[in-house]
Every structure is written in structure tokens, then in C-alpha cells.
């Protein structure tokens, strides 16, 4: 039996909720989506939630809403899932990769300022692997240069910044409910925003630009004709997904408490491996430990692939660390020393709700054997 890197925590309750949505006959975007939007916005201390089909479509819609387009540059970390950079391309803009902080894996005011040009209009800040970026510091640099800030909060549901939910009060934040994240609806995502006019426009844009939603037309007693005032998209979430999301959201506090407990235990066990570094809370917030990554000791001469193979041989499934988009053929190379160091020397260790202490001991013993 191999110890998996992550295992979604889904059960009978989610199956029941999905079945009820099917039996209700309303399977596309409807009342459950509205309910999920409200519950998620409340959980994240956001004014409004707008459910979408994924975090990727959420980021696309956010840049579209801001009017970002051809000729514009959007600063993004390369040290992220590739969807962050792709979002800039979807609207015809150019992504400009900035380097990250070696401890948090996140953009900093300095790394952003190093790549600004007269064409820069926006920054996508990523709370990478659940570790919050320094929101106040990055907001300050964005307002100094009149740049829009979009939070890529894909990994960060349940993380905190200065005592509040991460991205609380953000003008735009995009979240993911892919099974690799801590709250899943299969596929799915959400935009949260502090601006109710934006929320209204986002709701139209995700539904073909329709002035009256299909759900509103259905529940109206009279005839309601819709109009299409601008070109929109089909980025809708389904009520089946939202039904699952509502159950998952209720479980999230338990999931995070358990992850933080297991992460604490890793923090106690890992110091036995000389020179190893690991992810932990930054001074200004807390992570949900969506990814528990370690950076290999400099003294270890093998590669990340050697470590992954060694772990697999010992019954442990791990993953390479966060990818670097600028090293992929879809993009072009630039000089990002910290990103390249982190991506070439880090490994994501197993961490899942049902993980036992014995499994965790196996992981640490295996890693120690390999890198020592
Ligand atoms: C997972 C992830 C995404 C993409 O999320 P989807 O919901 O799968 O589109 C975007 N950005 C980051 C940082 C992610 O980790």
C-alpha cells in the first residue's frame, strides 16, 4: 500500500447532496449555486461570491472585467501552477514573470518592482500552496504604481492574513475547488469581490452576458425576456457541484485543523534531517498547508526525481515541488534564480485528513534514509 500525497475527504454526505440536486430536476446553475456563493463569501469575509467553472476561468474573467488586453503586461509568479500565467494570455495580454521570496514562495514588493514597465497594468499575486503573500505590502506597491491586484487564492481557502481569512476584502480573488485543493466540487471555482457592481457584471459575464439569469427566468411568475449587452462566456458552475461544495465547506474547518496538526508533527520530526527546510507560517498569517513542501539539503547531491523514486520504493507517493512556468516550452526562459532553486530542490510530502501518525513516521524515515 502506497501512502498517497493527498486524498480528497469525500463521503456519503456529499453523495447524498449531489443525489438531491439530481432528484430536484435543477442540475445546472440554480438555487444551490446561489446558496454556495453566499456561504463561501461569508466564510471568506468577502462581500460577494460569484461561482465559476474553475479558478482558471475565474482568473480569466477577472482580467476581462478589469479590461486587461493586448499591449498590457500582467506580473505573475512563474513559481505557480501554469494557469496563473495562462490567464494573462487568454485576454491577449503578456505575462511578465517575477521572482519569489525563498521562504514563502510568494511575490514580494521588490520582485514585482524589478519587472514593472510602462505597460504593466495588473499583478496576479498567488497565495502559493496556501501560504499567504504579504497582502498589505503588495497592495501598497500596486497602489503606488496604479496597478490592479488579483489574488490567485486557488490553494488558500482557510488560510489567514493578520487574523482574517486570506483575501478578505480583496477587490478580486479567484479560488479553486479542484480535488487537489482542500475543498472540492470535482471541478469548480469562485470569484470573491468587495464590489457589488462588479459581482453583478461578473454574474452576467459568466452566463453568456445574459441580463436575466436562466434561474431567475425559471422562477419568475411572469414573462421575462433577457438581453445580451456584451459578449460573455459560459463559465457556470452546476447545482450538483454546489451541493457538494456546501457539504465540503462545512467540513473545511476540521480539515484545516487536522492539516495544521499533522504539519506541526512534521515540524517536530523533520529537524532530524540536517539541512532540510520546510514550509511554515509566515509572521503575518497562517497557511492551510494545502501543500507541505520541503527544500532538500544543499549537501544532498541527488535530484528531486531521485528523491521521488526513493520515496516510491519505500511506499511513499510524493510530488515535485511547485512548477516554474517559465521553464515550460509554452513560455520562454527568463532569469529567476529563487524560482529555479525552489522548483529544482523542493518536494511535496503526503498530507491528508485521514493520514495516521504511523504513515507520517514512514514518510520521515524514508526521506531521512534517502537524503542522509
Ligand atoms: C490549482 C491552481 C489553479 C487552477 O485551478 P483550477 O480550478 O483547476 O482551474 C490556479 N492557480 C493555482 C495557484 C493553483 O494551484
Q: How far apart are CA 110 and CA 115, in angstroms?
A: 9
Identify whether 181 is a catalytic site residue: yes
| Å from CA of 176 to ligand 1 middle | 6
Residues 42 and 118 in one domain: yes
Q: Indicate the residue among 250, 281, 298 that finishes a domain.
A: 250
Spatial distance between the Cα atoms of 275 and 133, rounded to a whole number of angstroms: 25
Taking only the tens of pLDDT, the chain with its 372 residues reads 899 998 888 999 999 999 999 999 999 999 999 999 999 999 999 999 999 999 999 999 999 999 999 999 999 999 999 999 999 999 999 999 999 999 999 999 999 999 999 999 999 999 999 999 999 999 999 999 999 999 999 999 999 999 999 999 999 999 999 999 999 999 999 999 999 999 999 999 999 999 988 888 888 888 888 899 999 999 999 999 999 999 999 999 999 999 999 999 999 999 999 999 999 999 999 999 999 999 999 999 999 999 999 999 999 999 999 999 999 999 988 999 999 999 999 999 999 999 999 999 999 999 999 998
Atom of ligand 1 nearest to the CA of 129: 15
Q: What is the DSSP letter of 50?
A: E
Q: Is 154 in the pocket of ligand 1 (CB under 6 A)?
A: yes
User: Measured from the CA of 59, which atom of ligand 1 is nearest?
Assistant: 10
Range of the domain at 332: 253-371
Q: How far is the CA of 207 from the centre of ligand 1 (A)?
A: 21
Burial 97-117 (b: 16+ CB within 10 A, else e): bbbbbeebbbbbeebbeebbe
CA of 309 from ligand 1 middle (Å) equals 26
**CATH code for the domain in which residue 72 is found:** 3.40.640.10
Give a yes or no: residue 3 inside a domain: no
The CATH number of the domain holding residue 281 is 3.90.1150.10
Pair 177, 262 in one domain: no
Assigned domain for 1 exists = no
| Number of domains the chain contains | 2
**Would the CB of 178 count as within 6 Å of ligand 1?**
yes
Q: Which residue is catalytic, options 144, 164, 181, 268?
A: 181
First-residue to last-residue Cα distance in the chain: 25
Q: How far is the CA of 181 from the centre of ligand 1 (A)?
A: 8
CA distances from 307 to 312, 320, 349 (A): 9, 9, 11
Judge if 260 and 200 occupy the same domain: no
Amino acid at each position: 500500500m502506497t501512502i498517497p500525497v493527498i486524498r480528497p475527504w469525500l463521503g456519503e454526505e456529499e453523495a447524498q447532496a449531489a443525489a438531491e440536486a439530481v432528484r430536484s430536476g435543477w442540475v445546472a446553475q440554480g438555487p444551490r449555486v446561489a446558496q454556495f456563493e453566499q456561504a463561501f463569501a461569508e466564510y471568506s469575509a468577502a462581500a460577494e461570491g460569484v461561482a465559476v467553472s474553475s479558478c482558471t476561468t475565474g482568473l480569466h474573467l477577472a482580467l476581462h472585467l478589469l479590461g486587461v488586453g493586448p499591449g498590457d503586461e500582467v506580473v505573475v509568479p512563474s513559481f505557480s501552477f501554469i494557469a496563473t500565467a495562462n490567464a494573462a494570455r487568454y485576454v491577449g495580454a503578456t505575462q511578465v514573470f517575477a521572482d519569489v521570496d525563498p521562504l514563502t514562495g510568494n511575490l514580494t514588493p521588490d520582485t514585482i518592482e524589478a519587472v514593472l514597465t510602462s505597460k504593466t497594468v495588473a499583478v496576479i499575486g498567488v497565495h502559493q500552496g496556501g501560504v499567504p503573500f504579504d497582502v498589505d505590502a503588495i497592495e501598497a506597491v500596486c497602489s503606488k504604481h496604479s496597478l490592479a491586484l488579483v489574488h490567485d487564492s486557488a490553494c488558500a481557502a482557510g488560510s489567514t492574513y493578520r487574523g482574517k481569512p486570506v483575501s478578505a476584502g480583496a477587490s478580486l480573488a479567484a479560488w479553486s475547488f479542484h480535488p487537489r485543493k482542500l475543498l472540492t466540487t470535482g471541478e469548480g471555482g469562485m470569484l470573491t469581490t468587495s464590489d457589488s457592481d462588479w459581482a453583478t457584471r461578473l454574474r452576467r459575464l459568466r452566463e453568456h452576458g445574459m441580463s436575466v439569469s436562466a434561474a431567475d427566468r425559471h422562477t419568475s411568475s411572469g414573462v421575462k425576456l433577457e438581453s445580451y449587452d456584451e459578449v460573455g462566456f459560459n463559465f457556470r458552475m452546476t447545482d450538483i457541484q454546489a451541493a457538494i461544495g456546501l457539504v465540503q465547506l462545512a467540513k473545511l474547518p476540521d480539515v484545516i485543523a487536522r492539516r495544521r496538526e499533522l504539519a506541526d508533527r512534521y515540524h517536530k520530526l523533520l529537524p532530524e534531517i540536517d539541512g532540510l527546510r520546510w514550509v511554515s507560517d509566515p509572521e503575518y498569517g497562517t497557511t492551510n498547508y494545502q501543500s507541505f513542501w520541503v527544500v532538500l539539503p544543499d549537501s544532498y547531491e541527488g535530484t528531486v526525481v531521485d528523491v521521488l523514486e526513493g520515496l516510491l520504493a519505500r511506499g511513499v507517493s510524493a510530488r515535485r515541488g511547485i512548477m516554474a512556468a517559465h521553464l515550460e516550452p509554452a513560455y520562454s526562459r527568463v532569469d529567476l534564480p529563487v524560482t529555479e532553486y525552489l522548483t529544482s530542490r523542493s518536494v511535496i510530502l503526503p498530507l491528508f485528513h485521514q493520514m495516521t501518525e504511523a504513515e507520517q513516521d514512514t514518510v520521515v524515515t524514508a526521506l531521512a534514509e534517502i537524503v542522509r
